Structure 1
Amino acid sequence: MSARIPRKRIRIDSPPNDGSEQADEELLLKNRSESSAPDTASAQEPGGRKRDNSFWFDDGTVILVARDVEFRVYSGILSVNSPVFKELFAQTNGVHVLHFGGDREMTCPVVSVTDSPEDLRHILRAYMPGGESSFYDAKKPVFDVISACIRLGHKYQLAPLYEQSLHYLKSHYPATLESWDAVAKWCPPGWDDVHAVGVVNLARLIGDADILPTALMACTTLEDRVVHGFTREDGSPEHLTLDDLGRCFKAKTDIRKARLEALFGILDSSSPECRLVSRLGESSCRKTMRDALARLAPHIDALMDDNPFAPYTDYIPKGNLSLCLLCQTEVNNRHANARVNMWKALPEIFGIEVSGWGLGDVDQRPS
């Protein structure tokens, strides 16, 4: 599926499953009604809002209000980068009357949004003066940054930020086995494993199924944490839907079964052309493989919970079976085929559809 944002207009009041659609509509109506009654500095009101320390520019041209925090920023910068912000700013909004230098005062439009201050701050950091000159100046963005940039980038059609963030996510939750082999861990650097729950939800939000198989697979390693999820920096809970939770429970068993079946199949028999025969007339390579299977018992926990695409040699003493060339080639080919077949089966194991999944994978037999 394409990583690009759809051309269709994305409503500013439609973040998924958070009950904010009605809230945004009420905020827009409130913004319009306030145009006939200029607001005073909210910090002076009981229980009033507070100014953000990082993004309050004295010559800013719009005040964004997220919950109880005000951000005074430059509407032109946001309008150039976001057609959604441009449309929002074009509407009639309420205003603040700001006092400075004695009796002097000026008015500034006020626009309320339903985003959290923490999320909005990540977006402004990417676009406002004083923020990072490039999103990827931070080589290892934390989950909350990626999450905010994808969710708000999708919502406000901030295309470059959205696409860079999605590219980073896909590089760690890839759609090809070759790319998965290049990933060092189950999650990006600096992330907690439980953040895979948030990755699944991001994939659901933007409709990008390519991310789901590996993100769901990562969730199967979380034990009880997959049920509880985690709390984002803005205090909102992040947990799987009941459907995805059920997928993880079922898939964990299916992946374990497939993993063990593949391993036993890899070490099932010697090559028909094996010429190493013991004094009893049995293939010496066959006996070596049977002995290797017998020695797997101490590794059963790792076999059940480890990366299902890990090399079989990880569980062989010294990583070497000492087979003849013909049998070693046969075993390597079986292993390569088993990995590719399991990778292709991931969507089916999780009960999801991913168009084109596995078509880019090749049987990586050794030459």
Structure 2
Amino acid sequence: MSARVTRKRARTELDQVAKEDPEEPEVATQAQTHSGSSSQASNSDPQPQLGDEHGNGGLERDAEFWIGDGTIILVAQKVEFRYYRALLADHSPVFKTLFAADKQPTRRVPIDEHQFITCPVVQLTDSPQDLRHIIRAYISGAEPGFLEAAEPTFDEISAYIRLGRKYDLETLYEHALAFLEHHYPDDFKTWTQSKYWGPEHWPANAAVGVVNLARLIDAPHLLPSALLSCTYMKEDIMEGFGCADGTRETLALDDIGRCFRASAAIRQATVAGVVRTLRDKACQACKTQNKCADALRRALQGLDRVERLLTRCPIRLMPDDLLSDGQAKLGTCADCTAMVKRRSRKERTMLWARLPGLLGVEVPGWPEEVVAGAAAPRPEGT
């Protein structure tokens, strides 16, 4: 995230904001306050007043985002944030409409030791943690390019998705969605190129939260790889994923049932695919048919590390992963070794194509070339 920056803007910058945004509140000088002119102005103001800087109803000011010359106060649960109205409104048509609403409560707050302004006070239903992540992303006032240079946490991505969707923060939302699509793809090649169930710096059980986000925004293409991760969580699937704010992401009962039902089916399909991959039939080009067939038979018989088949991602399970301890290579000729790799890819591609069905989810547009590859006949010995 962006580093903290000096939030105290020069007087000339505040004046410029007021010129560019006629909706920004006027600055009341200390002289006006002492002369009583500001009191007269407040009497003609139809907006309800919500105390002053000393009367905030017992709310807690956010330690990070109570900015001394901010022009709007946002209240999330019991926490107040003071920030720049124009910066948020510029990025969100929803915020712009909300901030412009008539008869918003207001509060008179200082911008320095001599001057005061009247800030609208907007009550939000979001968690303080989520709102804090949003403000951090926009603190520079520029479109966020945070994902190119940072490793966002699940809590950050969740806030960008949830509040980005709610407040139409289009660029922030699209960046966060692209991040999820990269780590929980609907593309076979992308999934196989990664070594992890999700982002490397995320705990594996964060997939529970990804499933919930996919349900929230109606993004079924995220579900197969995220639910596949959940099927390998064992009993942790019931506990879910603990977020930084103390809340817990848990799967809906329907999705827990899907994972339990799919778990056995996926493991059965994995074992069957491995058996077909190592079946003892050499390729047609092989010049040492008996030797290579024996090598394949030994590899299949040597699958004593059953946990490899049951705990590793079946879509990423390569032929070398199937060898017993101490067996570095299959012992087949180059042609048969290449054949085994082709068999392995075909089996894993077929399993990838079947994932939505095995997991009991519908994914419109699941890659056609993968489905087509799964439906193709398998010539003997290839």
What TM-score do the two structures reach when normalised by structure 2?
0.78
Q: Is residue 64 of structure 2 the alignment partner of residue 54 of structure 1?
A: yes
Residue correspondence of structure 1 range 1-367 to structure 2 within 5 A? 36-41=47-52, 44=55, 48-92=58-102, 93-98=104-109, 105-129=116-140, 134-136=145-147, 138-271=149-282, 273=284, 274-276=286-288, 283-297=290-304, 299-309=305-315, 310-317=317-324, 318-359=327-368, 361=370
Q: Deviations over 1:124-145 (max 9, x none)?
A: 0111249996423652111111
CA distance in 2, matches of 1:102, 1:84: 33
Query: 1:268 Cα shift?
Result: 1.5
Residue pair 2:231, 2:262 contacting (<8 A) in 1 also: yes
Instruction: Tell me by how many angstroms 1:223 deviates.
Output: 1.3
Deviation at 1:331, TM superposition (A): 2.2
Query: How many Å apart are 1:329 and its aligned residue?
Result: 3.6
Deviations 1:234-254 (A, max 9, x none): 222210000110111111111
What amino acid is the match of 2:333? C
- Cα distance in 1 for partners of 2:238, 2:213 equals 17
Does the CA-based 8 Å contact 1:43-1:49 persist in structure 2? no
**Residue aligned with 2:51, SS:** coil
Tell me the SS of whatever aligns to 1:110: strand
Deviation track 1:47-80 (CA, whole Å, cap 9, x = no partner) reads: x111112222222221110011111111111111
- CA–CA separation in structure 2 for the residues paired with 1:289 and 1:359: 32
Q: Is the 8 A contact 1:57 1:72 kept in 2?
A: yes
State how far apart, in whole Å, the 1-side matches of 2:51 and 2:166 are: 30
Task: Identify if the C-alpha distance between structure 1 residues 201 and 42 changes in structure 2 by more than 3 Å, giving closer, same or farther.
Answer: farther
Q: What are structure 2's unaligned runs of at least 5 residues?
A: 1-44, 374-382
Contact in 1 for aligned 2:76/2:131 (Cα 8 Å): yes
CA RMSD of aligned residues (A): 2.5
Native 8 Å contact 1:42 1:49 kept in 2: no
Distance 1:324 1:36 in 2: 84
Residue 172 and residue 137 in structure 1: after superposition, are their counterparts in 2 closer, same or farther (change >3 A)? closer
Q: Which moved more, 1:302-311 or 1:131-140?
A: 131-140
Deviation at 1:230, TM superposition (A): 2.2
Structure with bigger RCO (C-alpha 8 Å, 6+ apart): 1
For residues 35 and 197 of structure 1, the distance between their equivalents in structure 2, rounded to whole angstroms, comes to 48
Unaligned runs of 5+ residues in structure 1 are 1-33, 278-282
Moved more, 117-126 or 311-320: 311-320
CA distance in 2: counterparts of 1:114 and 1:342, whole angstroms:
43
Q: Amino acid of the residue matched to residue 320 of structure 2?
A: T
Aligned residues: 324
SS in structure 1 opposite 2:279? coil
Q: Is the 8 A contact 2:68 2:112 kept in 1?
A: no
Deviation (angstroms), 1:315: 1.9
Q: Secondary structure at the match of 1:40?
A: strand
Which protein shows a greater Rg?
2
How far apart are the structure 2 equivalents of 1:103 and 1:178?
Answer: 62
- In the TM superposition, what whole-angstrom CA distance separates every residue of 1:159-209 from its partner, at most 9, and x where no partner exists? 111111111111111111110122121121321111110011111111111
**Cα deviation, residue 328, structure 1:** 3.0
Q: TM-score, normalised by structure 1?
A: 0.81
CA distance in structure 1 between the aligned counterparts of 2:288 and 2:113, rounded to whole angstroms:
98
**CA separation in 1, counterparts of 2:357 and 2:215?**
17
Q: Percent identity?
A: 40
In the alignment, the residues of structure 2 paired with residue 328 and residue 191 of structure 1 have an alpha-carbon distance, to the nearest angstrom, of: 36
Q: Which segment drifts farther, 172-181 or 56-65?
A: 56-65
Task: Give deviations 1:215-261, integer Å, cap 9, x for gaps.
Answer: 00111111111111122222222100001101111111111001000
In the TM superposition, residue 306 of structure 1 has moved relative to its aligned partner by 0.8
Paired position in structure 2 for 1:14? none
The answer on whether the counterparts of 2:308 and 2:321 sit within 8 Å (CA) in structure 1 is no
Shift of 1:45: 5.4
- Secondary structure of the 1:157 match is coil
Name the amino acid aligned to 2:288: L
Partner letter of residue 322 of structure 2? Y
Amino acid at match of 1:276: T
Distance in structure 2 (CA, Å) of the matches to 1:45 and 1:111 = 13
Moved more, 129-138 or 174-183: 129-138
**CA distance in 2 between partners of 1:70 and 1:269 (Å):** 69
* Structure 1 position 119, deviation (Å): 0.3
